[in-house]
Amino acid sequence: MRCTFEAIREDTPGARWQALFQLRWPAYQQWFLRDGYRARPSYLAGRRALRQHMPELAGLYQQLCELAGGGDLEARFLSQWCPPSYISGCSQAVWLDSYGVEGPLLARNYDYAPALLEGSWLSTRWLGRQVLAMSDCLWGALDGINEDGLAVSLSFGGRTAVGEGFGIPLVMRYLLETASNTAQAVAILQRLPVHMTYNISLLDKQSHWATVFVAPDRPTEVVNRSAVANHQHGVEWQAHARATLSEEREWMLGQGVRKAESADDVLRTLLRPPLFQTAYGRGYGTLYTAAYHPQTLMAELLWPDMRWPQYCLDVQEGVLNVRFDANHAG
């Protein structure tokens, strides 16, 4: 099995984004309608929620709706207001350089089904701020960094609760588009409604960091935990935690961060089992490791046998095909 990763530069939404939408929309449409047409909020409800909670994105949203063809269903999907549930694995950590040589690091493993990964590493200036992010839901983000040196990453929080709120990829995009530092990003997360439970890691170029627990039915919490996997204060969904080795991964990553003397030490930990997972057939295989360096604005995608660096302010377009061992499709 194979995933294709593509680095794409397009400052404002145009033909490149439109082509990505046309490519991915059939699969997203099937996912969006899996509970029936009436199960999803109306276009007006989604637009109203965006205008209320993320007004800076309202104009961009209208642009993207037009590029997507102007249809009702496409607009409802793009609002990301109360989307269907989705569940992934993932591990992430913040490492602070006590030697003052490399600067701080935000690193993560993204664990998911290969067939469901967009693989688009988008470099944009949609609202004037340079952003490099791994795309999800076509204008959301799984992780990324902006020109101010704010890096963000998400992992599933290990609960089945679903409520009224935004899909987390759009929340991540909003952070990168509107926040310059960790404090601003935390303030945004404390006011935004989210539709499922997630752990958000934040790091800025001043080495200020935060791990934020968000949920649809609990107050947002800022916690002092530099390494997280797929639970919050404790395991609440035992079957998911067992399947993804959430507790084991979090413990190993925490140990790796504490002992690390360099950023590469942290990355080596992420590229080893149990953090690097191979259960691709069950949707929990590690599809990529991402590393973000806020002080230098460098970003990398890594695998055990290769790495792909980029500079946030000058992304080099390209395509990389990554093969995963079918013998580990488990």
Q: Which residue, 26, 49, 84, sits at the end of a domain?
A: 84
Together in a domain, 21 and 35: yes
Mean pLDDT for 224-253 is: 97
Residue 1 lies in a domain: no
Residue 133 binned pLDDT confidence (cut-offs 50, 70, 90): very high
Query: What average pLDDT does range 148-177 have in this prediction?
Result: 98
Q: Supply the range of the domain harboring residue 225.
A: 85-322
Is 327 within a domain? no
Segment among 43-52, 65-74, 138-147, 321-330 with least mean pLDDT: 321-330
**Residue 68 and residue 179 in one domain:** no
Report the percentage of the chain scoring pLDDT > 70: 98
43 shares its domain with 139: no
CATH number of the domain within which 148 lies: 3.60.60.10
pLDDT tier, 1 (very low <50, low <70, confident <90, very high otherwise): confident
- Is residue 324 scored above 80 in pLDDT? yes
Instruction: Report which of residues 89 and 215 the model is more confident about.
Output: 215
Domain total of the chain? 2
Average the pLDDT over 10-23 and give the result. 98
pLDDT at 326: 54
The strand pairing partners of 145, in sequence order, are 132, 151
Average pLDDT score over the chain:
96
**For residue 3, is it within any domain?**
no
The verdict on residue 235 lying in a domain is: yes
Dihedral angle at the C-alpha atoms of 258, 259, 260, 261, nearest 10 degrees?
A: 120
- Amino acid identity at 84: P
pTM value is 0.97
4 domain-assigned: no
Residue 189's contacts (CB-CB under 8 Å, 6 or more residues apart) are 171, 175, 200, 212, 214, 220
Rounded (5°) CA angle 28-30-31 = 65
Same domain, residue pair 29 and 126: no
pLDDT at 250 over 80: yes
**Among 257, 193, 197, residue whose Cα is nearest residue 224:** 257
Same domain for 260 and 284, yes or no, is yes
Shared-domain flag, residues 54 and 139: no
Shared domain for 125 and 248, answered yes or no, is yes
Dig out the tokens for 2 from the structure.
Answer: 């194979």
**Residue 327 — pLDDT band, cuts 50, 70, 90?**
low
183/77 same-domain check: no
User: Do residue 192 and residue 53 come from a single domain?
Assistant: no
Same domain, 315 and 265: yes
Is 328 within a domain? no
